[in-house]
Amino acid sequence: MRTNNTLPRRSRRPSWPTALPVVLTALLASCGAPGAQSPLSDTPTSVSTSIGDAPVTLEVLVSTPDVALYEELGEAFQDKHPNVTVQVTGEDFNSLTTNVPRLISGTEVPDLVRLASFGNLVEDRLLTNLDPYAEAYGWTEWPQSQFASTRVDDDGRQRGTGHLYGAGPGFGLTGMYYNKSLAAQIGMTEPPATLDAFEESLEKAKDAGLLPLMVNGKDGGLAYPLQNLQMNYAGSTQVVQDWNYNKPGANIDTPALVDAATTLQSWSEEGYLPADVNSIDQTQAPARFAEGEGVFFPSGNWQAPTLQDAGGGEIGFFLFPPEETGDPFTAMTAPGVLAIPTKSSQSDVAAAFLDFIQTDTGARQSTLDLLGLPPAGPSDASLPDSEPGSLVSGTVESFQLLLESDGLVDFMSNSTASMHANTLIPQTQLLVAGKTSPAEFSAAVQKDYEDEAEK
Q: What is the dihedral of CA 415, 368, 7, 82, to 10 degrees?
A: -40
- Model pLDDT for residues 113-146, shown as the tens digit of each residue: 999 888 889 999 999 999 999 999 999 999 888 8
Q: How far apart are the first and last CA of the chain?
A: 37
The predicted model gives 236-245 an average pLDDT of: 95
Q: Mark out the alpha helices in 255-343 (DSSP H runs).
A: 255-269, 284-290, 304-310
* pLDDT band for position 29 (cuts 50, 70, 90): very low
- Looking at residue 16, what is its pLDDT? 53
Answer whether residue 3 shows pLDDT above 60: no
Residue 409 has pLDDT above 90, yes or no: yes
Reported as a pLDDT band with limits 50, 70 and 90, residue 382 is confident
The pLDDT-based confidence of 17 (bands split at 50, 70, 90) is low
Q: Residue 2: pLDDT above 70?
A: no
Fold agreement between 56-171+335-391 and 173-333+394-453:
yes
pLDDT surpassing 80 at residue 10: no
- The pLDDT score that the predictor gives to residue 142 is 92
Q: Any idea where the domains of the chain sit in the sequence?
A: 56-171+335-391, 173-333+394-453
CATH H-level, domain 56-171+335-391: superfamily: Periplasmic binding protein-like II (3.40.190.10)
Mean pLDDT of 396-418: 89
Strand partners, 213: 296
- Please check whether residue 232 is in contact with residue 194, taking contact to mean a CB–CB distance below 8 angstroms: no
The architecture that CATH gives domain 173-333+394-453 is 3-Layer(aba) Sandwich (3.40)
The CA distance from 392 to 308, in Å, is 7
Choose between 18 and 199: higher pLDDT. Answer: 199
Q: What is the pLDDT of residue 120?
A: 87
Sign of CA dihedral 397, 402, 404, 410: negative
Residue 12 pLDDT more than 90? Answer: no
The whole-chain average pLDDT of the chain stands at 89
How many other β-carbons are positioned within 10 Å of the β-carbon of residue 45? 15
Q: Which of 449, 408, 407 is nearest to 427 (CA)?
A: 449
Yes or no: say if 351 and 371 are a contact pair by the CB < 8 Å rule: no
Interatomic CA distance for residues 259 and 257, integer angstroms: 5
Query: pTM for the complete prediction?
Result: 0.82
Residue 40: band (very low, low, confident or very high) from pLDDT cuts 50, 70, 90: very low
- Read off the DSSP letter of residue 384: P
- Model confidence at 57, pLDDT cuts 50, 70, 90, reads very high
Q: Where residue 41 falls among pLDDT bands split at 50, 70, 90?
A: low
Which tops the pLDDT comparison, 404 or 349?
349
d(CA 454, CA 318): 39
Least confident of 150-164, 207-221, 259-273: 150-164
pLDDT band at residue 42, thresholds of 50, 70 and 90?
confident
Is the pLDDT score of 232 beyond 50? yes
pLDDT value, residue 116: 81
Q: How large is the average pLDDT for residues 260-271?
A: 98
